[in-house]
Every structure is written in C-alpha cells, then in structure tokens.
C-alpha cells in the first residue's frame, strides 16, 4: 500500500482521573468518519499507558482529551515519554478545558495545536491531515 493510501492512525486518550469522555467519543467518531483509523483508550489512562498504547498501535497521532485542569502536567509528560521512547515523530495534540494562554505555552513546548470546547471537529481533522501531509512530504 502506498503512503497516500495509508490511513492516518490516531490514538484518542483520556488521561487522569477525569471521568467525562463524551467529547473524546465525539472526536473519535468524527475522526473515523473523516477516514482516520482510530484507537480509543478509554478512561483513566496514565501517561505511561498512553505512550505504551501509541507504540503498540504504531500511531501517527496521539489526541488527548483533558478536562481535569491537569493539562500543563499531562501534555508535557506524554511528550517527554514519547521522546524517551524514540517516537517523537508522533504528533501530540488534543483538547479540552484549556485556557488560551496555556494552549500557547504548551504549543511553545512542542505540543501540537489544542482545541477548546465548541471547536468544529472538522478543524481538528483538517489540522491532522495537514500535519500528516507535511510529514509525508518531508
């Protein structure tokens, strides 16, 4: 199968103790409808579990849903673990209840674009597609 025919593989993850996964399920469904291959981890994942799943599933993207307020800890931890595991080519993106200034601070640390409540799912899909195409062209 050529690279152009390969589906983008996305791991949708819910880290931490936050038990609200409606948004994660909505985005996972939208990603599937958008032609992505989606793996959903379920609730209460540790950063280590998320990275292990990302490696095992050989994903292109990890999309985390964080509503707990722990985004400034969870995103950098997962990014660090991905780098330690040698899979720093994986895009780490996501969304949730994250203040704009925190989104900017995380993006400065190399985290991908983050999306807040009410963002059309098409924006996240287009962002991932554009990122993937840029990686394939490089």
Q: Where are the chain's structural domains?
A: 3-137
The dihedrals phi and psi of 96, each to the nearest 5 degrees, come to: 140, -160
| Lookup: tokens for 12 | 């949708």
The dihedrals phi and psi of 119, each to the nearest 5 degrees, come to: -70, 130
| Lookup: tokens for 124 | 């996240």
Task: Please report the pLDDT score of residue 4 as a whole number.
Answer: 58
- Looking from the CA of 113 toward its CB, the CA atoms found within 13 Å total 11
- Work out the angle between the directed axes of helices 100-108 and 71-84 (0-180°, nearest 10): 20
Residue 95 bridge partners (DSSP): 65, 115
Check: CATH 3.40.50.280 for 3-137?
yes
Task: Please report the pLDDT score of residue 1 as a whole number.
Answer: 46
Average pLDDT, consecutive stretches of 10 residues, N- to C-terminus, the chain (138 residues): 75 92 95 98 96 98 96 98 96 97 98 96 98 94
């Amino acid at each position: 199968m050529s690279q152009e025919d390969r589906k983008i593989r996305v791991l949708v993850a819910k880290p931490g103790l936050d038990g609200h996964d409606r948004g994660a399920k909505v985005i996972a469904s939208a990603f599937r409808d958008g032609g992505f291959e989606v793996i959903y981890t379920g609730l209460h994942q540790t950063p280590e579990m998320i990275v292990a799943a990302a490696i095992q599933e050989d994903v292109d993207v990890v999309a985390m849903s964080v509503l707990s307020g722990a985004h400034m800890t969870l995103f950098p931890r997962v990014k660090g673990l991905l780098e330690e595991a040698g899979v720093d080519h994986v895009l780490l993106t996501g969304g949730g209840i994250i203040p704009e200034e925190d989104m900017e601070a995380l993006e400065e640390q190399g985290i991908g674009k983050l999306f807040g409540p009410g963002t059309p799912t098409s924006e996240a899909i287009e962002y991932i597609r554009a990122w993937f195409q840029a990686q394939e062209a490089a």
